[in-house]
C-alpha cells in the first residue's frame, strides 16, 4: 500500500502526493489525525489551529457529511448540560444528604464551553448564536412523596453554590402551572408535585456548532477533511502512529496508510473498537454496552408554542441516566418543536450507522470477564431494557401523558435518536466487581500521543473542557508559559480559576458570554445570595 497525503490547493481542490523529507527520503508525518467529524474533533481541531496554527491536521469521517452521529441535532436531546435539571447529577448519600459535587463540576465545564463559543463568535468563526444556542428554561418535575422530598433536599443543597443562584422551587400547583401550562392542563388538581426552574437553561444544536467549526477549519491550508473515509485500524510505528484508512468515494475503494505524530479518536461508539486495534495497554479491561433511544416528537404549533422548557423527571428504578424521561422544547433551524423520551432501544451496533457485528468484534480476552460481571450484577437494568423493548405504541403514549395529560396520539411521531455506548471497565480495586459507568471518559496512551473519548452524556456539553484536557497533555511543554496562559485566558477568561464561590468572577464571565451569545443572565446579588444560603 502506498503512503500519501491529500494536499490542498488554493482553489480548495486536492491532489494526491507523497510527502518526503528532503534529507531522508521518508514520509513526513502529519501532526495530528482527528477521527470523526463531530463536535469533539471539531472543538479540538479549532483549539489546535488557534494555539498551533502551523500544525497539519487530517480529519477522517466515515459518513458523507459532518456531525451525522451523536452530534446530529436529531440524535441527542440538545440539553446544554449544566446540572440545572438533571437529577442523576446529584446523588443522595446514605445519611440522606445530597452530594452536589458532580453538579458543580458539570456546571463549571458547561460555562467553559459557553466562554469558548462566545470567543469564537467574537472572532467571527461561529456565526449567528441563535442558530446553535437559545434560552430554554431547565426544570425538574417529580411526584410521589419520596421524589418530592429528594427534590426539596436537592434544591436546598444547590443553594450552597452560587452557580445555581436564581433557581426557584415550588410545590404549588398554580405556580407550576404558570411555568408549564401544557404539563398541568388536565392533570388531577390534587396530585402532589414539586418542581425546580432555572430560567437561564439552554437548548444547544451541537451539530450546527460542529459544522461551523469544520467549515472554518476547512479554509486553512494545513487542514484536510476527508468524508466517506473509514479508519479501520491504528498501529504504532516507532514514535509515530499509522492510521489505516479506506477511501470509499469511488467504486474501487482505496486503502491508505497515514503517518501521524498524534491521533484523537472522537468517533462516538466507534472509539472503543478503534482504540482496541492500537494495542495500548490502557484499553485493557474496557468494554462497551450499546444503548439506543427513541423520541416522540411533534411540530404542531398549537402544542409546541404552549410549552417553553426542558422538563426532566426522575429515572425509573434501575434505569440508566439516559432513561430519565423529559419533555423538551427544541429550537431547530429557528423552529420550535417538542420531544418526549427517551425510550430505550438495543442492538449490537456501536453507531447508528454502524455494523451489527460491532459489539461482538469488540470482545476479547481482556474485557470478556468485566462484561460478564456487569451483566450478572445489573440484572435489574437488563429487565428494564427488556420492558422498554417490548413497549407498544400505546405504552409510549401513556408515558407521554404522565407529562402531558392532554396529548393526542395523532400529533406525535416516533423517531430514532442516536446510539450510545456505555463504558464497562475493570475495577482498579481487584476485590470489587467490574463497573458499568455512565458518563464520559478520556483514555490516552502513556506517552500522550493517542487519545480516545469513550462514553455518553454529558459529552458534547463539556467538549471544550475535554479539549482543554487534551491540550494540556499534548502540549505539556507550552502549558504554564506566559504566551500560552495569556492566549488561553483570552479564549477562556476563567482559565485556571473556579467560578463556584467567586461571585465577582462568575458575574463577569456570565455577563460577557450571555451578551455575546444573546442569552439571558441572572446577576448574582451577594447579600441576597447569603440570605438564601442561610
DSSP string, 432-451: S--EEE-SEEEEE-TTSSEE
Mean pLDDT of 215-240: 95
366 pLDDT higher than 90: no
Q: What phi and psi, each to the nearest 5 degrees, are found at residue 232?
A: -100, -30
Least reliable range by pLDDT among 233-237, 433-437, 463-467, 485-489: 433-437
Q: Is 519 left (phi over 0), alpha (psi -120 to 50) or beta?
A: beta
* pTM summary value: 0.92
24 pLDDT higher than 70: no
Q: What is the pLDDT of residues 245-302, one digit of tens each?
A: 999 998 888 899 999 999 999 988 889 999 999 999 999 888 888 888 999 999 999 9
Confidence of residue 58 (pLDDT cuts 50, 70, 90): very high
Separation between Cα atoms, residue 478 and residue 63, nearest integer Å: 35
Confidence of residue 433 (pLDDT cuts 50, 70, 90): low
- Kindly provide the b/e burial profile for residues 330-354, where b requires at least 16 CB atoms within 10 angstroms of the residue's own CB: bbbeeebbbbbbbbbbbeebbbbeb
Average pLDDT, the chain: 90
pLDDT at 373: 80
pLDDT at 400: 97
18 pLDDT higher than 70: no
Least reliable range by pLDDT among 34-38, 157-161, 226-230, 455-459: 455-459
11 pLDDT higher than 50: no
pLDDT at 440: 81
20 pLDDT higher than 80: no
**Among the ranges 6-10, 136-140, 238-242, which has the highest mean pLDDT value?**
136-140
485 pLDDT higher than 80: yes
Q: How much of the chain exceeds pLDDT 70, in percent?
A: 90
- Of residues 282 and 379, the one with the higher pLDDT is 282
Confidence of residue 13 (pLDDT cuts 50, 70, 90): very low
pLDDT at 46: 98
422 pLDDT higher than 90: no
Q: Which domains does the chain have, with CATH numbers?
A: 1-78+205-280+445-456 (3.50.50.60), 82-130+137-181+190-198+493-534 (no CATH), 287-439 (no CATH)
Helix (H) or strand (E) holding 72: none
Q: How much of the chain exceeds pLDDT 90, in percent?
A: 72
Confidence of residue 97 (pLDDT cuts 50, 70, 90): very high
pLDDT at 120: 98
pLDDT at 318: 56
Radius of gyration of the chain (CA): 24
pLDDT at 386: 83
Separation between Cα atoms, residue 269 and residue 244, nearest integer Å: 18
pLDDT at 8: 57
Query: CA 368 → CA 217, 284, 383, 439, 444, distances in Å?
Result: 40, 10, 21, 21, 21
**Residue in this structure with the C-alpha cell 462566545, named with its chain if needed:** 118
- Of residues 7 and 30, the one with the higher pLDDT is 30
pLDDT at 343: 92
Amino acid at each position: 500500500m502506498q503512503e500519501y497525503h491529500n494536499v490542498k490547493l488554493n482553489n480548495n481542490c486536492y491532489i494526491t502526493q507523497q510527502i518526503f523529507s528532503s534529507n531522508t527520503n521518508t514520509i513526513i508525518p502529519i501532526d495530528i489525525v482527528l477521527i470523526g467529524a463531530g463536535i469533539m474533533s471539531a472543538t479540538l481541531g479549532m483549539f489546535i489551529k488557534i494555539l498551533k496554527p502551523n500544525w497539519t491536521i487530517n480529519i477522517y469521517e466515515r459518513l458523507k457529511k459532518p456531525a451525522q452521529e451523536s452530534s446530529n441535532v436529531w440524535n441527542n436531546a440538545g440539553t446544554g448540560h449544566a446540572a440545572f435539571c438533571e437529577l442523576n447529577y446529584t446523588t443522595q448519600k446514605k445519611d440522606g444528604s445530597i452530594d452536589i459535587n458532580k453538579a458543580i463540576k458539570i456546571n463549571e465545564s458547561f460555562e467553559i464551553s459557553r466562554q469558548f463559543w462566545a470567543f469564537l463568535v467574537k472572532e467571527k468563526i461561529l456565526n449567528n448564536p441563535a442558530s446553535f444556542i437559545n434560552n430554554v428554561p431547565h426544570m425538574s418535575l417529580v411526584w410521589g412523596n419520596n421524589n418530592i422530598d429528594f427534590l426539596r433536599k436537592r434544591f436546598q443543597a444547590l443553594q450552597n453554590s452560587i452557580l445555581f443562584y436564581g433557581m426557584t422551587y415550588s410545590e404549588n400547583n398554580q405556580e407550576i402551572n404558570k411555568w408549564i401550562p401544557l404539563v398541568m392542563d388536565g392533570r388531577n388538581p390534587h396530585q402532589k408535585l414539586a418542581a425546580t426552574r432555572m430560567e437561564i437553561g439552554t437548548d444547544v444544536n451541537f451539530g450546527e456548532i460542529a459544522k461551523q467549526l469544520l467549515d472554518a477549519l476547512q479554509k486553512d491550508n494545513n487542514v484536510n477533511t476527508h468524508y466517506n473515509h473509514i479508519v479501520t485500524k491504528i498501529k504504532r510505528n516507532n514514535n509515530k502512529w499509522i492510521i489505516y484508512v479506506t477511501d470509499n468515494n469511488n467504486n474501487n475503494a482505496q486503502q491508505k496508510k497515514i503517518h501521524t505524530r498524534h491521533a484523537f479518536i472522537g468517533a462516538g461508539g466507534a472509539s472503543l473498537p478503534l482504540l482496541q486495534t492500537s494495542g495500548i495497554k490502557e484499553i485493557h479491561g474496557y468494554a462497551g454496552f450499546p444503548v439506543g433511544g427513541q423520541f416522540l416528537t411533534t411540530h404542531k404549533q398549537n402544542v409546541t408554542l404552549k410549552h417553553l422548557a426542558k422538563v426532566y423527571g426522575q429515572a425509573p428504578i434501575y434505569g440508566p441516566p439516559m432513561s430519565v424521561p423529559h419533555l423538551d422544547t427544541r429550537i431547530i433551524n429557528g423552529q420550535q418543536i417538542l420531544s418526549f423520551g427517551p425510550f430505550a432501544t438495543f442492538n449490537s451496533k456501536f453507531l447508528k450507522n454502524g455494523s451489527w457485528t460491532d459489539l461482538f468484534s469488540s470482545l476479547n480476552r481482556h474485557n470478556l470477564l468485566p462484561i460478564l460481571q456487569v451483566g450478572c450484577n445489573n440484572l435489574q437494568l437488563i429487565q428494564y431494557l427488556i420492558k422498554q423493548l417490548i413497549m407498544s405504541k400505546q405504552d409510549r403514549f401513556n408515558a407521554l401523558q404522565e407529562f402531558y395529560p392532554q396529548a393526542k396520539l395523532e400529533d406525535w411521531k416516533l423517531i430514532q435518536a442516536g446510539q450510545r455506548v456505555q463504558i464497562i471497565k475493570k475495577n482498579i480495586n481487584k476485590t470489587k466487581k467490574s463497573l458499568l459507568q455512565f458518563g464520559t471518559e478520556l483514555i490516552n496512551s502513556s506517552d500522550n500521543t493517542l487519545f480516545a473519548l469513550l462514553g455518553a452524556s454529558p459529552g458534547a456539553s463539556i467538549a471544550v473542557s475535554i479539549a482543554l484536557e487534551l491540550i494540556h497533555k499534548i502540549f505539556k511543554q507550552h502549558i504554564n508559559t506566559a504566551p500560552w496562559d495569556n492566549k488561553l485566558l483570552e479564549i477562556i477568561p476563567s482559565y485556571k480559576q473556579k467560578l463556584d464561590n467567586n461571585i465577582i468572577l462568575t458575574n463577569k464571565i456570565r455577563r460577557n458570554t450571555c451578551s455575546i451569545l444573546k442569552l439571558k443572565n441572572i446577576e448574582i446579588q451577594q447579600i441576597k445570595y447569603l440570605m438564601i444560603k442561610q
